[in-house]
């Protein structure tokens, strides 16, 4: 379940609004961990708990690292730096990227300028840890997939794929692959893909493209189309 609800209004492909859900009200921050080969975690957690104490250092209860700690049930490791009073995270849920790969982390679509202990998070924030390559000239941009909350079986709907830039700006991404049950389409030059599904149910879509970090699974509630009577 994700807190990043990237929604498109009926027929709209431009405007995207953040929509609160009942699940979101009970929890606060979304933590997603994208390993080198697959998504390791996508979870909403509350962050107002006690301070995070680990050998070497302590982090505020509302830090991104405390959120990661809660979401992974403590399954991470890192080295504390007294210089930065922060942890350099080296392992998450058993995945330890080898040099030149490392765990980078982004908050709300922006590359964090401090370590995860030093970044405070608030209700509705999205914390993303992803494996990046240190030798690349610029950070690998994560993709985001904007989907409508609802669609009708047999009727086309559109989704939009955008990429986060380190400074928090977003650009549309052409030729990204969007997949889900019975869905395999590429975005056009405007980052838009048109999708038609025949079955009602909860459809979960993901987008990916070489050189970018894959999106989370985004849900679309597909309702049955009306049957016509003679
Ligand atoms: C190299 C480097 C890295 C490398 C370190 C490993 C390597 N292969 O060498 C990698 C790519 C892993 C890295 C990652 C990050 N880094 Co860095 N990194 C640097 C850099 C450019 C040089 C450090 C260095 O080699 N110093 C020389 C050696 C001899 O001194 P050292 O003390 O042994 O250096 C070690 C520490 O700096 C440590 N380190 C590096 N980055 C970070 C970040 C944090 C939060 C911590 C606790 C330690 C740490 O790794 C170094 C090698 O062991 C500095 C900028 C600078 N000019 O200092 C930024 C810098 C230290 N990094 C920074 C940041 C923000 C990050 C990230 C949080 C970025 C992100 N959003 O993902 C991530 C860490 C995420 C995580 N996993 O927890 C900031 C820290 C700012 C702050 N006040 O907290 C700096 C100062 C850059 C900046 N101005 O923004 N980094």
State the distance from the centre of ligand 1 to the C-alpha of 103, rounded, in angstroms: 11
Nearest CA to ligand 1 atom 4: 134
Give the integer Cα–Cα distance in Å for 175 and 157. 17
In eight-state DSSP terms, residue 69 is H
* pTM, to two decimals: 0.90
State whether the beta carbon of 105 lies less than 6 angstroms from ligand 1: yes
CATH number of the domain located at residue range(s) 141-223 in this protein: 2.60.40.10
User: Rounded to 5, what percent of the chain is helix, strand, coil?
Assistant: 5, 45, 50
Question: Between 3.30.450.20, 2.170.130.30, 3.10.25.10, 1.20.1430.10, what CATH number should domain 25-133 receive?
Answer: 2.170.130.30
Q: Domain limits of the chain? A: 25-133, 141-223
Q: Is the dihedral of CA 132, 212, 148, 197 positive or negative?
A: negative
C-beta separation of 195 from 155 below 8 A: no
State whether the beta carbon of 82 lies less than 6 angstroms from ligand 1: no
- Using most ligand atoms within 8 A of CB, pick from 77, 87, 88, 134 the residue to mutate for ligand 1: 88
What is the model's pLDDT at position 164? 86
What is the model's pLDDT at position 4? 56
Residue 129 predicted with pLDDT over 50: yes
Residue, of 7 and 17, whose pLDDT is higher: 7
Residue 24 predicted with pLDDT over 50: no
State whether the beta carbon of 80 lies less than 6 angstroms from ligand 1: no
Residue 16 predicted with pLDDT over 90: no
State whether the beta carbon of 113 lies less than 6 angstroms from ligand 1: yes
State the distance from the centre of ligand 1 to the C-alpha of 165, rounded, in angstroms: 19
């Amino acid at each position: 379940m994700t807190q990043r609800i990237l929604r498109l209004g009926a027929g709209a492909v431009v405007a995207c609004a953040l929509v609160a859900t009942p699940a979101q009200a009970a929890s606060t921050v979304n933590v997603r961990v994208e390993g080198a080969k697959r998504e390791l975690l996508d979870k909403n957690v509350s962050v107002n708990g006690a301070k995070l104490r680990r050998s070497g250092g302590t982090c505020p209860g509302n830090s991104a690292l405390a959120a990661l700690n809660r979401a992974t049930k403590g399954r991470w490791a890192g080295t504390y730096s007294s210089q930065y009073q922060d942890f350099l995270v080296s392992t998450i849920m058993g995945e330890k990227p080898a040099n030149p790969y490392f765990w980078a982390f982004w908050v709300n679509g922006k590359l964090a300028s401090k370590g995860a202990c030093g970044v405070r998070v608030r209700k509705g924030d999205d914390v993303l840890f992803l494996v990046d390559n240190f030798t690349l000239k610029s950070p690998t941009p994560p993709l985001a997939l904007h989907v409508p909350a609802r669609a009708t079986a047999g009727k086309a709907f559109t989704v939009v794929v955008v990429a986060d830039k380190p400074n928090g700006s977003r650009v549309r991404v052409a030729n990204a692959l969007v997949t889900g049950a019975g869905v395999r389409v590429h975005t056009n030059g405007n980052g838009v893909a048109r999708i038609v599904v025949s079955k009602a149910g909860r459809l979960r879509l993901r987008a990916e493209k070489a050189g970018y970090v894959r999106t989370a699974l985004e849900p679309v509630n597909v309702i049955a189309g009306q049957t016509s009577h003679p």
